[in-house]
Structure 1
Amino acid sequence: MTERTWLITGINSGFGRLMTETLLARGERVAGTTRNLAAVNDLKAQYGERLWVAVLDLTDTDAIHTTVQRAYEELGRIDVVVNNAGYGLFGAAEGLSNEQIRHQLDTNLVGPIQVVRAALPFLRQQAGGHIIQLSTYGGQATHPGASLYHASKWGIEGFMESLAAEVSAFGIKVTLVEPGGARTAFRSAASSNLGLRLDAYKGTPADMVHTVLTDPAREPNGDPAKMAAAMINCVDIEPAPRRLILGSDAYRIIHDALSQRLAELEAQEETAAQTDISAG
């Protein structure tokens, strides 16, 4: 197996941590970012120079570009970029503060875009590479009470889909990962960062997110280790998958959403054409 260098954001927990552990154990190199160096001290002590670590907050655009450039200069190559860092912000749109909205979009949308922009010159110079973007089934489907989270994920999916066509001529591949629910700390972190629970929304679909996130009986079916392995393995698939669906729940929800959207589109075929300029 050829040793590769992976740039992964958010390696302190969740999928980022699992991917980093797996890659290091099999002899590859990881340039990882985290907001808390102490969380990966054990990995650094075990793997030494094969784990390059930097502190990074994805809301700091200047730091993103500086960190990516430094990783490339010190390691000499970046083969795979994994935009993993992010979080969920839930609650009715009215109950979210301006600061919560800005931070969600800066972290989940603007930050990953800037990571890619910082890495592209190096990937082009190498004549190849692979960008893996962590999204969610919520990048194709929606639930009430998750409007800002969906906004960030639908936004990054549109960016990456367009980007894939822009950079394919340079041998650069792009894969969007759309997991279903997984037994990581995502839900517990999200439950501690909910929007204000407004009385007007109690008993409505938008209010259900509070119940879902705080009910310990609602445990996801997704196996994080299996999902992390699938993300790593997708780099060796030819052609690279544009989207990688992980979890039976993700498949079902995305399939239902796309089927409904297609039916609604096809129902408007004739009326859509009525707004064309008339012949002659």
Structure 2
Amino acid sequence: MQNVWLITGASSGLGRQLVELALERGDRVAAVIRNERALEDLQQQYGNALTVEVFDIRNTDRIQQAVNSAATAWGKIDVLVNNAGYVLRGAAEEVSDVQIERQFEVNLLAPIQVTRCVLPQMRKQRGGRIVQISSMGGQAAFPTVSLYHAAKWGLEGFTDALRQEVAPFGIQLTIVEPGGMRTSFDANAVHAEPIDAYEQTTVGLFRRKTREAKGTKYPNDPRKIAQAIIASTDAEVAPERLVLGADAYDVVHRALSQRLAALEAQEDAAMSTGLEYEAKHHAA
């Protein structure tokens, strides 16, 4: 049976790989892009199986129109992939108010609104999959990308809560946390104006390492990441989180282990704040 996909950020990188793989297996795709010529070759090859919507993902009215068009044309939307996004690089003190607002608009508010637009259709059809493309940075944090982390952690919290709200309607959600991929992601990054005082700190060190990498040294193949995502949507039970890449596994495992150890070390302090705890110790 053909699935209908709605994929944002489909011009290049992971998004384009998802579009290609979905079409190759006979599915239908509504792709949201900003570069109107980015998918011309696929449109010529696959014809009416691919529709392309060209607009800024922050435009909620256009999002709703795209959702309505896909649902009207094909009668359903089986899978939504919120992939559109970019990284804002700079220490928290360096980034501007405008840069902060746009980072949250694109990386957090837009996927929330796309999800909200799709929910009525999926609820009506009593099922669907929503895939939120997060990052290993949705579980761990690095200097120079604090606002990117804030958006991804926010998206993950939103998704964990939403999962519980829509489960009765057969809608399942997966948070994808990939490691570094060899895409144009870094090339599309926005950089804050650096402050000299940070250059001899961890901020400066991390900034230099990032410049040296330029995306070419990242270990993961975006096509293989896309294949794993598509395979997850075929599973009867969607994974709540999908960590992809050895680098992502190591980073996320270390972050979660450290947080768990810190929590367990605070067990006595946590228990001591309850009213019953004080009463029991007075009685003893």
Matched, 1:195 2:186: no
Partner of 2:212: 215
C-alpha distance in 2 between matches for 1:252 and 1:265: 20
Contact 1:81 1:130 in 2 (8 A): yes
Post-superposition shift, 1:3? 0.6
Q: Determine whether 1:224 maps to 2:222.
A: yes
TM-score normalised by L of structure 2: 0.94
Distance 1:182 1:36 in 2: 21
User: How many angstroms apart in 1 are the aligned matches of 2:205 and 2:5?
Assistant: 38
Percent identity at matched positions? 49
Task: Kindly indicate whether the alpha-carbon contact (under 8 Å) linking 1:5 and 1:79 is maintained by their aligned counterparts in 2.
Answer: yes
TM-superposed deviation, 1:11: 1.0
1:67 to partner: Cα distance: 2.1
Secondary structure at the aligned position of 2:187 is classed as helix
Residue 144 of structure 2 aligns with which residue?
A: 145
Taking structure 1 as reference, are residues 65 and 163 closer, same or farther at Cα in structure 2, changes over 3 Å only? same
Kindly state the Cα deviation for residue 195 of structure 1 after the two structures are TM-superposed.
Answer: 1.0
CA apart distance, 1:28: 0.6
Q: Does 1:66 align with 2:65?
A: yes
Partner AA of 2:87 in structure 1: G
Following the alignment from structure 1 to structure 2, what is the Cα–Cα distance between the partners of residues 27 and 52? 14
* Cα-Cα RMSD: 1.3
Q: How big is the shift at 1:270? A: 0.7
The aligned length equals: 277
Structure 1 unaligned regions, length at least 5: none
Query: How far apart, in 1, do the equivalents of 2:249 and 2:213 lie?
Result: 24
Could you list the per-position Cα deviations for residues 29-88 of structure 1 after superposition, in whole angstroms to 9, with x for gaps in the alignment? 001100111111111111110001111212222222232222212222100000011111
Q: Distance in 1 between matches of 2:130 and 2:22?
A: 16
Corresponding residue to 1:239 among 234, 237, 240:
237
Counterpart-to-counterpart distance in 1, 2:54 and 2:273: 53
Residue 52 (structure 1) aligns with? 51
The match for 1:79 is: 78
SS of residue in 1 equivalent to 2:6: strand
Amino acid in the other structure paired with 2:227: A
Look at both structures and tell me which one has the larger radius of gyration over its CA atoms.
2
Structure 2: tracts of 5 or more residues without a match: none
Name the CA distance, whole Å, in 2 between partners of 1:207 and 1:238. Answer: 46
- For residues 163 and 170 of structure 1, what CA distance do their matches in structure 2 show? 12
Q: Could you tell me how far apart the structure 1 residues matched to 2:206 and 2:76 are?
A: 42
Deviation at 1:216, TM superposition (A): 4.0
Q: How far apart, CA to CA, are the structure 2 residues paired with 1:267 and 1:33? A: 47
CA separation in 2, counterparts of 1:209 and 1:149? Answer: 15
Q: TM-score, normalised by structure 1?
A: 0.95
